[in-house]
Structure 1
Amino acid sequence: MLKIKGFIVIFVLFPFQTILSQSVEIFGKVQSNSGIENIHVINKTAQVFTITNKTGEFRINVALNDSLVFSSVQHQFKEVVISSNIISTKILLVKLDEQINELDEVVVGKVLTGDLLKDIANVEGDPPINFYDVGIPGYTGRIATQSERRLSEAGVFKPQMLLGLLGGGVPLNPILNGISGRTKMLKNRVMIERKESLINTIKTRLSKDFFASNPLDEDLRMDFFYFCADDENFIKYCKNETDFKILIFLRHKYKQYTENLEIAND
């Protein structure tokens, strides 16, 4: 009789434990006084991730005792362990605290006393004049790098320019630079600089969150980013894209990188 009762208890508990160990999709919502869109939600245990939408909502697969990490620039880091209650309700509400960076007080320039005559006497120099002050049109876009300026000066070589030489109305610089290979060299240099800039941007913004769910030795991380930059689609998938799309690309390259490491170690 005792054996039968024991068997019944095991029979009842087994499906319950099986359910808890399975991965389920939960619905979550982030609450905060700051922006709640594009917050990174990372399942460190299962190594999957997502981001919140404009209302702070997200969906992600979890299992019992998985660790969810919530991270963004404007919020304090928070980690939540998935409980049986979350598994059963499939709902998670997370309150994030705003990240406050307190800076030391810095006094710049002269300290004003409130006495107009004294304050005027303490002011040195004339205010700078810009092109708006004198009515001259000016450029306010991104300043070109030295390599970009040199590429612009080199000009773009087109084969039909050779025919224009007969009339003498075609500049020689684009032709000479194209034939000598200088234009191609400058284009490669500009591309390398753009990749370097994009690598540094991604590394600063996403490195912490990405390596939280995709572990890699500290001394290999920069090599990994250069490995990503070598991909012919690096600019296409990472330039002006959302963090979510960039993380998907990095995850794809991470699998390739770790496979290469295993082959090299063997």
Structure 2
Amino acid sequence: MNRLLYIIMLLLTLQAVCQERQNLLGRIITGPNGVPDVFVINKTAGVEVKTDDKGYFTIQAKSGDGLIFYNSKIIVREFTLNQDSFKTSPLVISVNYGPQELDELVINKYGKINSEGLGIVPKGQKRYTVAERRLYTASAMTVGTVIGLDPILNAISGRTRMLKKAYEIEKLESSLTLMGGLYNEDEIMENYKIPEQYVRGFMFYAIENKEFAAAIKGRNKILANFLMTDLAEKYLKLIANDK
């Protein structure tokens, strides 16, 4: 009986050790080149680091943790770790550069030339983003019409699922931009007591809350402030439990 109890305790101890977070060495690249100054956020643990000038990073993580890779020049990428993630060192994550915004664009003439002005689309028609248009095209199967070849191929290839993911990431980036317009990092640290090294992680944590995302989209800062207080308390408990 004592021997059986010993074996059970040993197995439980080994399981607990295996579930503890450990240092994960990784590198973020685009093509053959490392990408510097990318925020690597473990949204599960609330830990954040930044890549060095060659794209390398080290972060505390374990299998099942969700990582987010973000800076102003790349398209946000999310990645869920598994046991194989720790078998390769460094873990290489490939990202893509996003479109770069111009500091200023001045148009002196023809300011009213657009799709509505040219009569291409009806006036007041809803305009879709690139990701929304691609998702609509990929998934359109209207009842009562002949089904085209593209939707069938997309259902087989999983392209629709991929485009849904791209659309979700686009919404995430949009919400993050809106939040940055309402709150700066100093304000988050001072008013909500979020430590400096966790600010970016908290921002991603907050915008995943549907009510908060809707509040900042509507620029309702009173409601956003109310929700932020509760979210900050929960986030501080989360990072305290992972220390």
Q: Same fold (TM over 0.5)?
A: no
Report which structure shows greater RCO (CA 8 Å, sep ≥6): 2
Q: Which is greater in Rg?
A: 1
